[in-house]
Amino acid sequence: MSQIYLITGCSSGLVIALARDIAKLAPLQELGAATLTLDVTASQEELIRTATAALAIYGSVDILVNNAGYTLFGAVEDLSYEECLREFQTNVFGPIGLTRALLPHFRRRRAGTIVNIGSLCAWETYQGVGAYSASKAAFRYFTEALGQENAGTGIRTLLVEPGQFRTDLLNPRNSTFVETNILEYRDLTAASFANFRNAHGKQRGDPTKAVAPILDVIHGDNEASGREWPGELALGPDAVETIRSKCERTLKLLNEWQGFSSETDAERV
């Protein structure tokens, strides 16, 4: 049976795609997809209206994919409150708001899948991407808590944490580079910005190959057939390598400092 997808920040949709600029969605419309405009930084009321409009198109939504994203580059000290707020509004608060708008629908049906596109940066940050990494870390734990809260309700959550793929994430249209006026950061940010700008279009991963494993997990097909629902999925060999390395280093640190860290319990009476 066909399932209805609602996908934000989409350049190649499956059924319903949302974007700020409806003109960019013309190819999807030609393929039969229904499209709506949405600014994920809009108010909760506006997100509810958009969710209601999406539900009216086919009568239901089976799978929500929170895919909208925005990258803010800059040393932490250089970033303004407003710049950080925009990063979190796009990468965290907007997806939370849209998810909240659709949860009552999923609960009534006792079925629904929420797929949140995270990042390996939730595990390992780099100089110049502190705000982006922080937003993806927040999104990671929002997804984890949501999954725990809806266990047994028929609502599933899947956090996809991709490595570097040749998407528009590093496209200047989707990124902001905050230049520094602080002498100590000039060489650091110059090198970091150059690396990210030069990486656009040359990333390791092929986005067309990223779709199949996500769909297989959602539908329990191919390699995912018969497996327990994972809740999270590292996507791409660089994501797997980065997350494994972070876990190994964290375990090593815990073991080395365990005695020092653990003598904190209150005395027993």
Active site positions, annotated: 132
Helix residue ranges, H only, the chain? 26-30, 44-58, 81-88, 94-109, 130-149, 183-199, 207-219, 237-262
Q: Read off the tokens for 140.
A: 């990671």
Bridge pairing between strands 5-8 and 112-117:
unpaired
**182-187: long-range contacts (C-beta < 8 A, 24 or more apart)?**
182/75, 182/77, 182/78, 185/75, 185/77, 185/78
Per DSSP bridges, beta strands 16-19 and 5-8 are: parallel
CA–CA gap between residue 5 and residue 164 (Å, rounded): 24
CA torsion angle 248 135 208 102 (round to 10): 120
Cα-atom radius of gyration of the chain, to the nearest Å? 20
